[in-house]
């Protein structure tokens, strides 16, 4: 066993060490919950651990800044690595195991030769359009992590709405025996969705970026009030955010399950947005079920 210990939490660096201990947990009938992360943990991640604790006997978190999901010009190198702090947070949130592998452990044959998992079509749109290869990196590493941990439940934040939809599709298509749970977005005092990348925002930007959430909420309200001119509404929402001084990547009104552009008679709708601040690309979304309003 290669475990280090922090409070009641055990930390494993190897796949075999993590598997051995989870095999024993499974053998004694324990239900296993899993929270995959890239570290630099915030309250949102700890809420995922809390949800895991509510419905499972044992919670495993992982920290792995997955190079395969970063584009060439993206922030893999500067992505904040805050391991000691993360360990303290996870241990005090009651996490039982932390899986903390290095790159060699996850990609022993090198990234170029790694077998890939590709969910087609729904990964080419929205964030996938501006981050080519990103979702292939996500689905590849998540499928590996699911095979390593073999959890009963895996918990992901709804903030990464497209990521969650893509992972659900992968699990369905590959018959991976795990329940995928979507957890509500944790927000800061002014509505900004918590994200490990919010630390890139300058002080000046920080006060303005709430416009993304505020404007998506405005758009949702318009739909609730009966508007169905979705393309026009997307353009108006975009304009409002741009007037706030930010560059838009996309604002899009979609069917919440398929991620296809929303049809006039769709009941389950999500409004998704991505915008650029100077130091960070921010994403957010709001959903509505027209049967319930």
**Positions marked catalytic:** 45
Specify the residue, 38 or 219, whose C-beta has the smaller distance to ligand PAF: 38
- We find the least distance from the C-beta atom of residue 133 to ligand PAF, in angstroms, to be 13
Specify the residue, 17 or 36, whose C-beta has the smaller distance to ligand PAF: 36
Structure tokens at 114: 């790694």
Specify the residue, 66 or 215, whose C-beta has the smaller distance to ligand PAF: 66
Contact between 198 and ligand PAF per CB under 6 A: no
CB of 62 within 8 A of CB of 37? Answer: yes
Please give the Cα distance from 31 to 238 (Å, whole number). Answer: 44
Binding-site member from 17, 33, 36, 128 for ligand PAF (CB under 6 A):
36
**Cα–Cα nearest to 145, from 214, 99, 80, 113:** 99
Relative to beta strand 281-289, strand 32-37 is unpaired
Please give the Cα distance from 232 to 210 (Å, whole number). Answer: 22
Please give the Cα distance from 256 to 124 (Å, whole number). Answer: 16
Please give the Cα distance from 185 to 38 (Å, whole number). Answer: 17
Contact between 160 and ligand PAF per CB under 6 A: yes
Binding-site member from 21, 93, 127, 141 for ligand PAF (CB under 6 A):
141
Specify the residue, 40 or 270, whose C-beta has the smaller distance to ligand PAF: 40
Contact between 183 and ligand PAF per CB under 6 A: no
Binding flags for ligand PAF, 57-96, as an x/- string (CB under 6 A) = ---------x--x---------------------------
Contact between 138 and ligand PAF per CB under 6 A: yes
- We find the least distance from the C-beta atom of residue 39 to ligand PAF, in angstroms, to be 8
- We find the least distance from the C-beta atom of residue 174 to ligand PAF, in angstroms, to be 16
CB of 134 within 8 A of CB of 128? Answer: yes
Q: What are the residues facing 22 on neighbouring strands? A: none
CB of 194 within 8 A of CB of 280? Answer: no
Kindly indicate which of the ranges 138-146, 169-177, 204-212, 213-221 contains the residues binding ligand PAF, using the contact rule CB under 6 A: 138-146
Contact between 37 and ligand PAF per CB under 6 A: yes
Specify the residue, 142 or 186, whose C-beta has the smaller distance to ligand PAF: 142
Alpha-carbon dihedral of residues 91, 94, 95, 96, nearest 10 degrees?
100
* Total chain residues near ligand PAF (CB under 6 A): 10
Largest CA distance in the chain: 60
- Tokens 């404007």 belong to 215
Name the residues that contact ligand PAF, by CB under 6 A: 36-38, 66, 69, 138, 141-142, 160, 163
């Amino acid at each position: 066993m290669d475990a280090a210990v922090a409070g009641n939490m055990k930390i494993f660096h190897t796949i075999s060490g993590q598997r051995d201990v989870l095999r024993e947990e499974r053998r004694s009938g324990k239900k296993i919950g899993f929270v995959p992360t890239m570290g630099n943990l915030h309250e949102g991640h700890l809420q995922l651990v809390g949800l895991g604790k509510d419905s499972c006997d044992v919670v495993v978190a992982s920290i792995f800044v997955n190079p395969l999901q970063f584009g060439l010009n993206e922030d893999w190198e500067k992505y904040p690595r805050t391991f000691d702090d993360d360990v303290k947070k996870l241990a005090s949130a009651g996490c039982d195991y932390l899986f903390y592998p290095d790159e060699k452990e996850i990609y022993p044959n090198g990234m170029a030769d790694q077998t890939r998992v590709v969910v087609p079509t729904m990964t080419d749109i929205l964030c996938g359009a501006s981050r080519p290869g990103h979702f292939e990196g996500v689905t590849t590493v998540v499928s590996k992590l699911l095979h390593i941990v073999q959890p009963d439940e895996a918990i992901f934040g709804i903030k990464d709405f497209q990521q969650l939809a893509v992972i659900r599709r992968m699990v369905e298509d590959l018959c991976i025996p795990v329940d995928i749970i979507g957890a509500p977005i944790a927000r800061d005092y002014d509505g900004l969705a918590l994200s490990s990348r919010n630390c890139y925002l300058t002080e000046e930007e920080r006060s303005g970026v709430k416009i993304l959430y505020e404007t998506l909420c405005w758009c949702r309200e318009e739909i609730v009030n009966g508007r169905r001119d979705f393309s026009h509404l997307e353009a108006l929402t975009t304009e409002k955010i741009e007037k706030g001084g930010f560059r838009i990547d996309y604002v899009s009104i979609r069917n919440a399950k398929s991620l296809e552009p929303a049809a006039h008679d769709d009941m389950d709708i999500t409004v998704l947005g991505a915008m650029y601040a100077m130091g960070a690309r921010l994403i957010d979304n709001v959903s509505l079920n027209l049967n319930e309003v």
